[in-house]
Amino acid sequence: MTELPAEVDLAAEELRGRIDGDTLTVTIDRPEKRNALTADGYHGIKTAAMIVADEPTLDFLVITGTGDAFCAGGDMNAVGNPDRRWDAFTEAYDGTPFETLGKIPKIVVCAVNGLALGGGLVMTLYADLVIASDRARMRVPDLTRGVYEAFVAARLPQRIGTLRANHLIYGNDWVEAEEAHRLGLVGKVVAHETLAAETAALLDRVRNTGPAARTAMKREMARSLPAVDASGYWASVGTAEQIEAFTAFLQKRAPQWSRTSDRDAFVSTRRPAWIPPQPDAKGSEDH
């Protein structure tokens, strides 16, 4: 059997991949950007998932971060990076790793060491196990960026219930680690300094279960999950609303939402049902 290398090049500067026994650990190491992922970074995590899926001696993919962040989502400043190694043009519609994490037959673990929002939070929704430091914080900021986050919509209500999901999606409040555990966003909260050891202990417990049975169990549980509106998500990318939201974020100002509708003529025919007729300038009423 081929001996696997200890270090894995995932073709992204912010990722460190390391194989230890049956586990490939991906560490997002870009603390100066709160571990925000470039397009290369997202693609690198998907590459790691496929490596684990392929290799018979690998059973686990662990994703974690450095510093005080797990992952702050995608780096909006890195969209036009000329040094990008991944072909984000021809593979744009398949650019995120989220569904891949849920589909591979091996166990995906997110060890959340700090803040997780945007794509960082979404990765936890598609992982099989989520263990968090007591310093972890989570947030769903996507609507403030004008993003129709179909991946969140397809998984968050299933994990924590529709009403709680509504409050996180529309209210975009921060959720601290213990509250995240109470809601069901994470499976376990541990002391920050013990996160690595607790993650290792969790994997040891999982190793007591049959690999083939685990694969069958993951496949069957996935059958009950709703499909992701990925085409709708990608159709929403680059809209005027999203561009305004991203621009406002980068300029550190409130977005100026535009409100236009191709139903204006239809709506105008319905207004007389609830808006009283307005008197004209001479005191008579328009009919």
Q: Residue 283's pLDDT band (boundaries 50, 70, 90)?
A: low
237 has a pLDDT exceeding 90: no
Average pLDDT over residues 154-168: 96
107 has a pLDDT exceeding 80: yes
- Return the CA Rg of the chain: 23
Q: Which of 17-26, 152-161, 188-197, 273-282 is predicted least confidently?
A: 273-282
Task: Point out which residues pair with 163 in neighbouring strands.
Answer: none
pLDDT at site 250: 86
167 has a pLDDT exceeding 90: yes
Report field, pTM of the whole predicted structure over 0.85:
yes
Reduced 3-state DSSP string for the chain: CCCCCCEECCCCCCEEEEEECCEEEEEECCHHHCCCECHHHHHHHHHHHHHHHHCCCCCEEEEEECCCEEECCECHHHCCCCCCCCCCCCCHHHCCCHHHHHHCCCEEEEEECCEEECHHHHHHHHCCEEEEECCCEEECCHHHHCCCCHHHHHHHHHHHCHHHHHHHHHHCCCEEHHHHHHHCCCCEEECHHHHHHHHHHHHHHHCCCCHHHHHHHHHHHHCCCCCCCHHHHHHCCCCHHHHHHHHHHHCCCCCCCCCCCCCHHHHHHHHHHCCCCCECCCCCECC
Higher pLDDT, 203 or 75: 203
pLDDT at site 86: 60
257 has a pLDDT exceeding 70: yes
286 has a pLDDT exceeding 80: no
Q: Residue 80's pLDDT band (boundaries 50, 70, 90)?
A: low
Mean pLDDT of the chain: 92
Q: Which homologous superfamily does the CATH classification assign to the domain defined by 7-235?
A: 2-enoyl-CoA Hydratase; Chain A, domain 1 (3.90.226.10)
Average pLDDT over residues 159-173: 96
Task: Point out which residues pair with 273 in neighbouring strands.
Answer: none
What are the domain boundaries of the chain?
7-235
Give pLDDT tens digits for 88-104: 666 666 778 999 999 99
